[in-house]
Structure 1
Amino acid sequence: MPFRLPFLIVLMLCTAAAPVAAAQLQRLHGRTMGTTWSVVADLSSAQSMEAVQQGIQAELDRVDGQMSTYKPDSDLSRFNRAPAGTWQRLPPEFFTVLRHALQLAKDSDGAYDPTVGPLVNLWGFGPDQRPRQPPTRQAIAQARSRVGWWKVQLDPAAHRVRQPGGAYLDLSAVAKGYGVDQVARYLQRMGVRAYLVEVGGELRAHGRKPDGSVWRVGIERPDAAAGGVIDAGELIDTIALDERAIATSGDYRHVFEDGGRYYSHHIDPRSGYPVPHEVASVSVLADDCVQADPLGTTLSVMGADKGMAFARSRGLAVLMIVRTPQGFVQRMSPAFAEAVRP
């Protein structure tokens, strides 16, 4: 069963201005973490497409092999099964991601929490999927007793983490973004002049296309047809992605309905319940994708007002699409408005 990841909705637009420029761009693709990846790159004649393809896949396989909740032999699954009070040594990549996740949990007062796994599984959005119906209050209370980012202790010197007993990590909201960054670092090491990396809708760009233009991406409307954008009317906007990363988190496809009420995969770790169906999507621009990726989930859990206040106070570049009685409304932080200004 694939590694569960938030259903993200940023779409890649990478048309070149001239046929000659388009011919110089190489397109590579594959599968990872239960989704797909693609890279559009300006490779030199000395750079083998096959070698670059294999290198990209190896980077993503390493992330998936360490942080998958679906693979019983992953380092994350090993930690989740570990006895209470034991210290587990982690690979450098896993330790880096977990430390970042715990810091965001602290900064957000638990709106984001990497120990949310028991609640994710209980609501049917994890590897132990079950019939889609709301769990009982008692079951939610039992799952919540295992949640709490502050219970997880790190030993930076030895790259270890302590299993407090019953903790179940779920790094789905950050691992994919980290994978994007790992691919970008690999391409940098290989000396690739320009590239656009995409993993399941998360993107990071470097350099310029052969015609000198910047990479541009489109942000999908929440009411666009599932399975791909057909025309520009299904996009909120297109923006230049110049030496930046973007991640978008939406609540409207990874969802189930029961008794006329919709429940999304955005679960508030503090209450144990999916958040109200208010924020349709959150797009975050950042220098790297490991920063942008979990913020979409975090701000969705916070809600439109508190989430935007959090973004403003920290200078985050955020675009929210909010449901109102009058339809979808865009809310943009000053940093996002500045970033997309022509």
Structure 2
Amino acid sequence: MRRVLLPHAISSAAPPAGAAIHDHRGTSMGTGWSARVVGAAPDLAPLLQAELDLVVAQMSHWEPTSDLGRFNRAPAGTWHALPAEFLEVLAFALDVCDASGGACDPCAGALVNLWGFGPVNRHDQPGFVPPTPAQVQAALAQRAHVRLDPHTGQAWQPGGVQLDLSAIAKGYAVDRLALRLESLGIADYLVEVGGELRGGGVKPDGQPWWVALEQPPDAAAGDDIVVALHGLAVATSGDYRRYFVDGAGRRPHTIDPRTGLPIDSGIAAVTVVDASCMAADAWSTALTVLGVEAGLRLAERRGIAARFLVRQGDGTLRASTSSAFAAMLD
């Protein structure tokens, strides 16, 4: 059965009569991006690409010359000035880390690399061997956290910290596309980077931007939800996107920073709906790591609109939703 998810408030503003949808596309962060814009507009692709290039230049853990790459190589016990955008994203990621009890930690890049999901020693390259329990414990023992000084815009590298903002940077990039369009006076749009989306306004026919929530490949046909992205963003984390299989079974790319191991909670996917795609991206990862029981408790405490899909013993998926998510379902 198809259900719909609606925002609590819907604007009555409509696009200009006779307006058309203009599509802009490109690539960034190892994936594609798109922007659907209502109304006469110049070629916006270069402007939007510049927004994404800024995120990559500052926060990519794949680019050695990025600000993040330089910070990761910095000597122990040193302070480093960060660009304002980098500082904003890192501060939010650290807040989510604290609120989730460490379930989503931007300082856990060494563990991500150890399991073959970083830029080197990848799981899909010849010769990769999963880490031993002793190697995982050694990585956990060496972990430390950065400190931020918001007054000076600096971050402290305690030594060996490998920042990884992949659980939040893509959502932040989506927000930058949306805000860039709005700064140009464009109110009706749908922007997307690698499956994370944010929409504003409506289409020329007055309909909102209807988007089907992402489902795992093994989800039952017909059991889906479409959301009206009218002032909303949506992000999904799942165990089916990137993984490898070894003697222990499926090893998803999402690592639990508290144990140092890939998640094994039975969570197939967590979708979060929020006004901010950065928030939706970060919280979908944190709730995935926490699992359905602890994740739902946290979502209820913080008013997060979240949907959990949990694998059952018979191979089916069971859906559980937070109160905030259920309140938007029609």
The verdict on a shared fold, with TM-score over 0.5 as the criterion, is yes
Give the aligned partner of residue 199 of structure 1.
193
User: 1 or 2, which has the higher helix percentage?
Assistant: 1
Partners of 1:234 and 1:92 in 2: CA distance? 44
Which secondary structure does the structure 2 equivalent of 1:188 belong to?
Answer: helix
| Residue 138 in structure 1 maps to residue 134 in structure 2 | yes
Q: Which residue of 1 aligns with 2:24?
A: 28
Question: Aligned to 2:319, which of 323, 330, 336?
Answer: 330
Alignment-derived partner of residue 55 in structure 2: 63
Greater mean deviation of Cα atoms: 21-30 or 97-106: 21-30
SS class of match (1:103)? helix
- Where structure 2 has 5 or more consecutive residues not aligned to the other structure, the ranges are 1-16
Q: Residue 242 of structure 1: which of 216, 230, 248 is its match?
A: 230
Query: In the TM superposition, what whole-angstrom CA distance separates every residue of 1:111-155 from its partner, at most 9, and x where no partner exists?
Result: 11101100000000011133454311221122113334xx31111
Which residue in 2 is equivalent to 1:110?
102
Is the CA contact (8 Å cut-off) linking 2:71 and 2:157 kept in structure 1? yes
Name the structure 2 match of 1:304: 292
* Segments ≥4 residues shifted beyond 6 Å: none
Distance 1:295 1:244 in 2: 15
User: For residues 164-183 of structure 1, what are the structure 2 equivalents within 5 Å?
Assistant: 164-183=158-177
Q: Taking structure 1 as reference, are residues 209 and 130 closer, same or farther at Cα in structure 2, changes over 3 Å only? A: closer
1:208 equivalent in structure 2: 202
Aligned to 2:115: 123
Asked if residue 95 in structure 1 is aligned to residue 101 in structure 2, the reply is: no
Quote how far apart the aligned CAs of 1:317 are: 0.3
- 1:11 is aligned to none
The AA in structure 2 aligned to 1:139 is Q
Q: Deviations over 1:211-246 (max 9, x none)?
A: 111111112331259xxxxxx947622121121010
- Residues 43 and 193, structure 1, Cα contact 8 Å, conserved in 2: no
Letter in 1 for 2:215: R
- Give 2:239's aligned residue: 251
Report the number of matched residues.
310
Q: Residues of 1 paired with 2:306 and 2:27: CA distance?
A: 28
Retained in 2: the 8 A contact 1:181–1:290? Answer: yes
Shift of 1:101: 0.6
Mapped contact 2:19–2:204 kept (Cα < 8 A): no
Gaps of 5+ in 1: 1-20, 226-231
- Matching residue of 1:229: none
Q: Measure, in 2, the Cα distance between the counterparts of 1:164 and 1:121.
A: 19
Indicate the SS of the match to 1:242. Answer: coil
Counterpart amino acid of 1:320?
F
- With the length of structure 1 as denominator, give the TM-score of the two structures: 0.87
Could you tell me which residue of structure 1 aligns to residue 76 of structure 2? 84
1:315 is matched with which residue: 303, 313, 324?
303
CA contact (8 A) 1:221 1:235 kept: no
Which deviates more, 251-260 or 186-195? Answer: 251-260
Are the counterparts in 1 of residues 265 and 289 from structure 2 also a CA contact under 8 Å?
no
Q: Distance in 1 between matches of 2:45 and 2:329?
A: 32
**Equivalents in 1 of 2:61, 2:18: separation in Å?**
39
Deviation at 1:260? Answer: 5.5
Shift in alpha-carbon separation, 1:97–1:29, aligned structure 2, 3 A: same
Structure 2 residue matching 1:173: 3-state secondary structure = coil
Partner of 1:10: none
Residues 209, 235 of structure 1: CA spacing in aligned structure 2 closer, same or farther, 3 A cutoff? farther
Question: What's the counterpart of residue 274 of structure 1?
Answer: 262
Measure the CA separation in 1 of the matches of 2:218 and 2:22.
28
User: Which TM-score applies when normalising by structure 2?
Assistant: 0.90
**Contact in 1 for aligned 2:19/2:38 (Cα 8 Å):** no
Rounded Cα–Cα distance in structure 1 between residues aligned with 2:119 and 2:222? 32
Cα deviation, residue 193, structure 1: 3.0
Q: How far apart are the structure 1 equivalents of 2:81 and 2:88?
A: 12
